[in-house]
Amino acid sequence: MRIVVAYTRRMLKILRSEVLVLPSRVAVLVFVIAILALPLVTQDYYILRIMILTSIFAILAASWDLLSGFTGQMNFGHALFFGVSAYVTALLNLNLGFPPYFSIPLGAMGAVLTGLIVGIPCLRLKGSYLALTTLAFPIILMGIVFAIPGITGGELGLSGLTKLTGSRVNDYYVTSILMLVLGGIMWKITDSNTGIILHAIREDEVAARAAGINTTRYKLLAFCLSGFFAGIAGGLYAHFMRLAGPSTLEIGLSFQVIIWSVFGGMVSIYGPIAGVYILNPFMEVLRVILDNFPSLPEMRMFIFAALVLLTLRFMPEGLIPWLRDKVETECPRCKVRNVAFRRSCRICNAAMT
Amino acid sequence: MLLDVSNLTVCYDRAMLINDVSLYVEEGEMVSLVGPNGAGKSTLLRAITGLVAWDKMTLKGTAEGDITLKGNIVFDGKDISKTPAHEIVRRGLVHCPERRRPFKEMTVRENLMSGAYLHMKKWDVQQELEKVFKLFPVLGDRLNQVSGTLSGGEQQMLAVGRALMSRPKLLLIDEPSTGLAPLMRKEVFNKILEIKNLGITIMLVEQEVASVFSMASRSYVLSSGKIIAQGKCSELLEDEMIRRTYLGL
């Protein structure tokens, strides 16, 4: 009992001194609590379905940010990892009867392998050449999928997978908690020494090599890591929708990932996650609203595009970094972040200008 | 002999950039490499540290042509002409590239850490950092500053500091004085002398011949990819033709 009290007290102390001092940390805390508490508020089938898909896409967007944002390897075909994993998961589940907790990690391993296969020829390419090459891979795979309908189900895809879990609420908790955990892991990776190396590769590959960094290895590592996380998302998607179809390989999905990430703010991991959590439910709400006005032409994509364009016009770094700079300032002396209204730095007491 | 380059030839497609160059660096000395623009000084350094081979890959990717590299490069008793760049750094031959090239969005600390990346597990990185700060107190003051906001001179010191973090035996410094005010140049050169006094062998590429010749013991004069003169700096200065044509003194 005493241990519990002491532990709680310590947690509260950390909460007060480390979390509550910064709006961004409070926002993350509120976000986590809101995600976990949502089923207590509503168990609406439709809302939960949207939130499940949102959390799956959030993993996907964050994994894109790890590869393209952090390492600077512009990937325009991120749906490849998603699709490969969805198909591998589906094949394992349908043909060999693997349960989801087995087939999804194996599907993700398939995506890692894809990351290696794609990564090796892409090592030599940079910028727009890399973007165009990666764009081609999902299209190639789609051709293969259509070519062998006996295995892949052709245009209809593979359907009838085992359900992720028994109930929708459980599905929601599995995907959301996985999103939080994987998002945390990705953020931790970018914050570690590996993160510094990936950052160095993004900024100046020659200088990184001159500093003794094996850029080949780390670029491949970035491809594999990103493939793994995207693969988890793909496997979850396949089991949740109980379907792995060619739509998981579509160019539209690849670009959607980029739009989410750029909208939310690249090179931050939390930016793309926030981008998905804002844009995806927003699109659904828009659909519901616009359904009440059947006389209007199809306005959904137009409003979406206008919103994204306006955001990028006024917040070129993305929504979340822009917001963060509004509510927090950096101490001029020790470079620690502070709430914008503080007069002096919370660490070194230097005057904030 | 710490570094021994013999009959090195580098061709980009059919253009010969380095033509049959041989040079050596003894342990503990400071050698300079001077020459006019376009003589191939930077290419020579890049060829030695394996960065040209990297170009080869990218140039092939963009279909601009092939690079051929012939000759022997022996460092510390081992041939390194086919070793990848990161492995060369591991063996203690570190290249501090031209135009400084710090990672501009990273903080000073992260920049320095990326230099020690190869040895993060083996060495006490903190001790290494302190050595660099002793040499460059400015960097210690700006530890958490984003390096893109440093002045040119500070960025140069950061680039040298990053190279020092890899514990070099031989440090190749490419044009440290580019774009610096005269006073800053002097300071950078003083720092390089200090590094030499720490026992690190240095090969310095520079345009500003006067300052370099007062520091280095020997020098090579490179022109159009060929070494046209070499020897003690004082002897080179005596040769009227070389002085006028290549050194501009």
User: How many whole angstroms separate alpha carbon B203 and alpha carbon B30?
Assistant: 6
Residue with tokens 């960065």: B51
Residue to mutate among A70, A134, A193, with most B CBs inside 10 A, is A193
The residue type found at A237 is Y
Across the A/B interface, how many CB contacts are shorter than 8 Å? 87
Residue A99 distance to chain B (closest CA, Å): 40
The residue type found at A294 is P
A212 closest CB neighbour out of B89, B102, B110: B89
Of the segments A48-62, B51-65, B217-231, which one has the largest average pLDDT value? A48-62
B215 interfacial to chain A (CB closer than 8 Å): no
Q: Which residue has the higher pLDDT, B201 or B60?
A: B201
Reply yes or no on whether the pLDDT at A332 is more than 90.
Answer: no
pLDDT band at B65, cuts 50/70/90?
low
Q: Is B204 left (phi over 0), alpha (psi -120 to 50) or beta?
A: beta
Residue A133 distance to chain B (closest CA, Å): 12
Provide the pLDDT for residue A185.
96
Provide the pLDDT for residue B55.
52
Spell out where chain A has E strands.
158-159, 243-244, 328-330, 337-339
Reply yes or no on whether the pLDDT at A219 is more than 90.
Answer: yes
Of the segments A49-53, A305-309, B213-217, which one has the largest average pLDDT value? A49-53
Q: Which residue has the higher pLDDT, A320 or B37?
A: A320
Judge: B86–A212 Cβ closer than 8 Å, yes or no.
Answer: yes
Contacts of B109 in chain A (CB under 8 A): none
Reply yes or no on whether the pLDDT at B66 is more than 80.
Answer: no
pLDDT digit string (tens) for A131-161? 999 999 999 999 999 999 999 988 999 999 9
Q: Which residue has the higher pLDDT, B70 or B202?
A: B202
User: How many whole angstroms separate alpha carbon A229 and alpha carbon A62?
Assistant: 8
Closest alpha carbon to A66 in A154, A186, A234: A186
pLDDT digit string (tens) for A183-197? 999 999 998 889 999
Contacts of B90 in chain A (CB under 8 A): 212
Provide the pLDDT for residue A242.
93
pLDDT digit string (tens) for B77-99? 999 888 888 889 989 999 998 88
pLDDT digit string (tens) for A231-243? 999 999 999 999 9
User: How many whole angstroms separate alpha carbon B243 and alpha carbon B238?
Assistant: 7
Contacts of A196 in chain B (CB under 8 A): 106, 110, 113-114, 117
A335 interfacial to chain B (CB closer than 8 Å): yes
Burial group, residue A131, by CB count within 10 angstroms (0-12, 13-18, 19+):
middle
User: How many whole angstroms separate alpha carbon B249 and alpha carbon B236?
Assistant: 11
Q: Where are the domains of chain B?
A: 3-247
Lowest mean pLDDT among A10-14, A238-242, B1-5, B124-128: B124-128
Provide the pLDDT for residue A333.
78
pLDDT band at B53, cuts 50/70/90?
low
Residue to mutate among B86, B144, B145, B150, with most A CBs inside 10 A, is B86
B123 interfacial to chain A (CB closer than 8 Å): no
B114 closest CB neighbour out of A124, A125, A213: A213
Return the CATH number of the domain spanning residue range A46-250.
1.10.3470.10
Residue B55 distance to chain A (closest CA, Å): 9
Contacts of A124 in chain B (CB under 8 A): 57-58, 60-61
Q: Which residue of B has its CA nearest to A206?
A: B51
ipTM over 0.85: no
Provide the pLDDT for residue B59.
44
B162 closest CB neighbour out of A209, A211, A335: A211
User: How many whole angstroms separate alpha carbon A200 and alpha carbon A211?
Assistant: 10
Residue B208 distance to chain A (closest CA, Å): 24
- Cα dist from A228 to A93, A108, A138, A179, whole Å: 18, 5, 16, 13
Query: How many Cα atoms within 13 Å fall on the side-chain side of residue A271?
Result: 27
Contacts of A210 in chain B (CB under 8 A): 49, 51, 85, 89, 94-97, 101, 163
User: How many whole angstroms separate alpha carbon B158 and alpha carbon B179?
Assistant: 15
- Cα dist from A278 to A98, A263, A288, A293, B170, whole Å: 34, 10, 16, 23, 53
Closest alpha carbon to A84 in A300, A286, A230: A230
Burial group, residue B78, by CB count within 10 angstroms (0-12, 13-18, 19+):
exposed
Q: Considering chain A, what percentage of its residues have pLDDT values greater than 90?
A: 72
Residue to mutate among A126, A196, A266, with most B CBs inside 10 A, is A196
- Cα dist from A299 to A255, A257, A260, whole Å: 19, 21, 19
Provide the pLDDT for residue A41.
94
Residue to mutate among B114, B141, B144, with most A CBs inside 10 A, is B114
Dihedrals φ, ψ of B94, to 5°?
A: -115, 135
Residue to mutate among B106, B107, B117, with most A CBs inside 10 A, is B117
B61 interfacial to chain A (CB closer than 8 Å): yes
Reply yes or no on whether the pLDDT at B164 is more than 70.
Answer: yes
Provide the pLDDT for residue B118.
76
Judge: B94–A212 Cβ closer than 8 Å, yes or no.
Answer: yes
Reply yes or no on whether the pLDDT at A98 is more than 60.
Answer: yes
**Paired residues of B227 in beta bridges:** B222
Interface of A with B in 199-238 (CB under 8 A): 199-200, 203-216
Structure tokens at B16: 């010969």
Contacts of A193 in chain B (CB under 8 A): 113, 117, 120
Please, what is the average pLDDT of chain B?
Answer: 86
User: How many whole angstroms separate alpha carbon A182 and alpha carbon A176?
Assistant: 10
Contacts of A200 in chain B (CB under 8 A): 103, 106, 114
Judge: B85–A210 Cβ closer than 8 Å, yes or no.
Answer: yes
Around Cβ A194, how many Cβ atoms within 10 Å? 17
Around Cβ A247, how many Cβ atoms within 10 Å? 17
- Residue count of chain B: 249
Reply yes or no on whether the pLDDT at B161 is more than 90.
Answer: yes
Around Cβ B224, how many Cβ atoms within 10 Å? 14
Q: Which residue of B has its CA nearest to A213?
A: B86
pLDDT digit string (tens) for B202-244? 999 988 888 888 899 999 999 889 999 899 988 888 888 888 8
B4 interfacial to chain A (CB closer than 8 Å): no
Interface of A with B in 87-126 (CB under 8 A): 123-126
Residue A58 distance to chain B (closest CA, Å): 26
Provide the pLDDT for residue B63.
42
Residue with tokens 């929504």: A319
pLDDT band at B195, cuts 50/70/90?
very high
Spell out where chain B has E strands.
3-12, 15-25, 30-34, 67-75, 78-79, 93-96, 170-174, 201-205, 218-223, 226-232
- Cα dist from B187 to A202, B96, B156, whole Å: 31, 17, 11
Q: Which residue of B has its CA nearest to A198?
A: B114
Q: Is A134 helix (H, G, I), strand (E, B) or coil?
A: helix
Residue A71 distance to chain B (closest CA, Å): 13
Residue B97 distance to chain A (closest CA, Å): 7
User: How many whole angstroms separate alpha carbon B47 and alpha carbon B73?
Assistant: 9
Q: What is the value of pTM for the model shown?
A: 0.88
- Under 8 Å between Cβ of A58 and A183: yes
The CATH superfamily holding the domain B3-247 is P-loop containing nucleotide triphosphate hydrolases (3.40.50.300)
Residue B184 distance to chain A (closest CA, Å): 23
Q: Is A344 helix (H, G, I), strand (E, B) or coil?
A: strand
Reply yes or no on whether the pLDDT at A253 is more than 50.
Answer: yes
Judge: A206–B110 Cβ closer than 8 Å, yes or no.
Answer: no
